[in-house]
Amino acid sequence: MADICPVAIITGTPSHEGTATDILQVIRGDCDIHVATKPEQVYLQKHEFFSRSGLGAKWDAVITLIPTPTKQFFQTESGIAESNEEIAQAMNGLFAGFGAQAHDYPNIPHILIGHWNVSGSILPTGQVMTGKDIDIGYDSMMLACSDLICLGHIHKAQQIGERAFYPGSLYPLTWGELEAKGFYIHTLDGHKLIESRFIETPTRKLCRVSADYTKAPLPEKCEDFAYQLTSEIISSECEGASVRCDFTVWQDEAALIPKEEIKQLYLDAGAIDADIRIIRIPRETVRSEAVLKVNSLRDKIKAMADLRGETVSESILQKADLLEFREIVQEVAA
């Protein structure tokens, strides 16, 4: 990338990146590479990044770089910010300070690059991200008065508000990431964000199939296990994809699932590979849980009978009520 344009890099999650930033700092290209390991603001001029050196310089862009927030970044009145809430609050001052510095250059774009969770962002699973790690609100980021916000950390590509973007990961990292992968190209004219285009990258295609056969009988035919193998699904999802099947079954029925035959069905349909996984559920565990959830002796007997497919007469249930009543009386008397 540095052979065609200047590259600005921030450190991400410390446990993920390790010492990768140390290596990136010594890479050389035709254009400048700047690696930020702490919050800072740099100024772009043609192919190089500079520290602030006077208001008279003709910069092409102001770029604010904020790596993953850590408590070491901040010093509060009571000491170092410890909790995620304290750090998120301290970020407001950081955004506002960098926004004030960028305000000195009114006619050039200000780009904020950061790595954190934004309130309301969506994970690849569809779950809305909130309350985990350090949670930064969109309004807080807007204190930086930036024209474009480029974010890392969430793996699903998405736009938040008018000018904040997660490009997501360039390729699927887990089986929960089934959405399109790629990157954004943003076009700015001064302070105006003209266009943001998402460019999809050619990545490994994933197709995930799941079925719970503890709530329904096992299919009689092998083809019925791979019930997604219709002509429409084959062409749109299965063909050219890595397929993973998760079948939940009773432990004593696991051997009845023809794993190799199902795998071959997907391969014949055009899948690159197929991983058939069996999730075994012990029946006795489920039975015990069902019985433990009820309180009275009458209900426990009925629950056991239901699990065994038996019918309990009303006289037996009445005797259970009488027995339980006698135990209560004896306890009170004692």
pLDDT in tens, 35-64: 998 899 999 988 889 987 655 568 899 999
Average pLDDT over residues 109-135: 78
Q: Which of the pair, 25 or 280, is modelled with greater confidence?
A: 280
pLDDT in tens, 210-222: 888 888 788 877 7
Q: Is the pLDDT of residue 16 over 80?
A: no
Same domain assignment for residues 234 and 176: no
Average pLDDT over residues 185-196: 94
Task: Write down the pLDDT at residue 199.
Answer: 95
> Judging by DSSP bridges, how do beta strands 148-152 and 135-136 pair with one another?
unpaired
Same domain assignment for residues 169 and 290: no
Same domain assignment for residues 19 and 162: yes
For the chain, percent of residues with pLDDT exceeding 70: 79
Task: Write down the pLDDT at residue 137.
Answer: 87
Same domain assignment for residues 156 and 227: no
Task: Supply the range of the domain harboring residue 314.
Answer: 284-333
Q: Which residues contact 226 (CB under 8 A, 6 or more apart)?
A: 209, 245, 262, 265, 266
pLDDT in tens, 130-155: 555 678 889 999 999 999 999 999 99
Residue 229 binned pLDDT confidence (cut-offs 50, 70, 90): very low
Q: Kindly provide the residue ranges of all beta strands, DSSP E only, lying in 116-268, ordered along the sequence.
A: 117-118, 135-136, 148-152, 158-160, 164-166, 182-189, 192-200, 205-212, 241-250
Please choose, from the candidates 93, 193, 197, the residue with its C-alpha nearest in 3D space to the C-alpha of residue 146.
193
Same domain assignment for residues 306 and 259: no
Distance (Å, rounded) from C-alpha 118 to C-alpha 166?
A: 10
Same domain assignment for residues 38 and 145: yes
Task: Write down the pLDDT at residue 174.
Answer: 80
- Note whether residue 324 is domain-resident: yes
User: Domain containing 151 — which CATH number?
Assistant: 3.60.21.10
Task: Write down the pLDDT at residue 334.
Answer: 55
Distance (Å, rounded) from C-alpha 272 to C-alpha 239?
A: 8
Average pLDDT over residues 11-25: 80
Residue 231 binned pLDDT confidence (cut-offs 50, 70, 90): very low
Task: Write down the pLDDT at residue 309.
Answer: 67
Q: Which of the pair, 173 or 75, is modelled with greater confidence?
A: 173
Same domain assignment for residues 263 and 291: no
Same domain assignment for residues 293 and 316: yes
Distance (Å, rounded) from C-alpha 27 to C-alpha 48?
A: 14
Task: Write down the pLDDT at residue 129.
Answer: 55
When divided into structural domains, the chain yields a total of 3
Task: Write down the pLDDT at residue 230.
Answer: 43
Residue 65 binned pLDDT confidence (cut-offs 50, 70, 90): very high
Q: Is the pLDDT of residue 113 over 80?
A: yes
Task: Write down the pLDDT at residue 317.
Answer: 80
- Note whether residue 262 is domain-resident: yes
Dig out the tokens for 171 from the structure.
Answer: 């390729």
Please choose, from the candidates 89, 64, 60, the residue with its C-alpha nearest in 3D space to the C-alpha of residue 77.
89
Distance (Å, rounded) from C-alpha 214 to C-alpha 250?
A: 6
